[in-house]
Amino acid sequence: MSRRKLCFFAMLAAMVGLAASPAYKSQLTNQLERSRWAPASYRHSELLPAAFHPVQSKNAEELRAGKLLVASRNLADPNFVETVVLLVRYDAQGVVGLVLNRRTQVPLSRVLEGFKAAKDRSDPVYLGGPVGTPMAFALCQSATKIEGAEHVFGGVYLITEKNAFEQTISTRPDPGVFHVYLGYAGWSKDQLRKEVELGSWFIFPADAGTVFNSDPDSLWPQMIRKTELKVAGNKPVNTSVLDQLLRTNAVPFSLYPPVVVVP
């Protein structure tokens, strides 16, 4: 028999002997037991990509401009039932948000009658909240800074001043990146923090796709399902088959370190 074959069979015999040893069986079983009883959150983070994890939070410390509030199922206030709200201001003076999913049948041309560039616009206006309904606000996504507008997050800006409205409307922005809202939602910082702590709201990071969703009626159902996401594969590891293999010394080679073939 050649020297190479002798080395190979010697290594193979050593590995089989290791599998049969009580110490190795005990070590492998302990590792499996630790995996079996590890907290579910740890197992999920090891087994699943980040995209499968819910990204919502109920931590009031995460409240700030550029966050989304998603009403929980038990929120009974009729002003906010099944709403998704973008926070556009969060400072010492209070909190301002715009409801994203209450689209009206009122065309933009009717609301902005004083703007020549808006006279032929039929895109609908949104009801931004129960406060200050005669007031108009706009959200616009732009690759460049909009003069006179407030940056909210990413390329999304809040427009409240007349000059900024006129300038933006004159560029004829696409309805897919420009929404106008009547009224707003308002809280004190302490009031909103308490509502979050009581479970009335879920907090999500904002993104332009959500803010300018073309089907706002589907927005809340989509977001609330994310809060209720159940990750599959969270059952404890079943070690009965492996235990049987260990007892019969028939452990598959895939459980061992790779065999190095001597050239």
Task: Give one DSSP letter per residue of 112-137, joined into a string.
Answer: TTT-GGGTT--PEEEE--SEEEEEEE
Do residues 145 and 248 both lie within one domain? no
Do residues 38 and 78 both lie within one domain? no
Report whether pLDDT(134) > 70: yes
Do residues 130 and 15 both lie within one domain? no
CATH of the domain at 189: 3.40.1740.10
Structure token pair of residue 119: 């006279």
Residue range(s) defining the domain that contains residue 154: 54-227
Residue 3 is predicted with a pLDDT of: 52
Do residues 17 and 90 both lie within one domain? no
Do residues 16 and 102 both lie within one domain? no
Residue 240 is predicted with a pLDDT of: 46
Do residues 106 and 144 both lie within one domain? yes
Do residues 85 and 162 both lie within one domain? yes
In a domain, 41, yes or no: yes
Query: Using CA atoms, how far apart are residues 107 and 105, in angstroms rounded to an integer?
Result: 6
Beta bridge partners of 138: 159, 180
Do residues 19 and 70 both lie within one domain? no
Report whether pLDDT(105) > 80: yes
In a domain, 218, yes or no: yes
In a domain, 243, yes or no: yes
Find the mean pLDDT for residues 168-192: 96
Q: List pLDDT tens digits, range 210-251.
A: 999 999 999 999 999 998 874 443 444 444 443 443 344 443
Find the mean pLDDT for residues 80-107: 97
Residue 212 is predicted with a pLDDT of: 98
Find the mean pLDDT for residues 24-33: 44
In a domain, 157, yes or no: yes
Mean pLDDT (the chain, rounded): 77
Report whether pLDDT(1) > 70: no
Domain tally for the chain? 2
Do residues 194 and 85 both lie within one domain? yes
**Count of Cβ atoms closer than 10 Å to residue 201 Cβ:** 25
CA distances from 12 to 2, 17, 254, 260 (A): 16, 9, 13, 10
Do residues 166 and 60 both lie within one domain? yes
In a domain, 263, yes or no: no
In a domain, 222, yes or no: yes
Q: List pLDDT tens digits, range 36-56.
A: 333 333 333 333 333 334 466
Do residues 220 and 181 both lie within one domain? yes
Do residues 163 and 40 both lie within one domain? no
In a domain, 219, yes or no: yes
Report whether pLDDT(2) > 50: yes
pTM of the model: 0.68
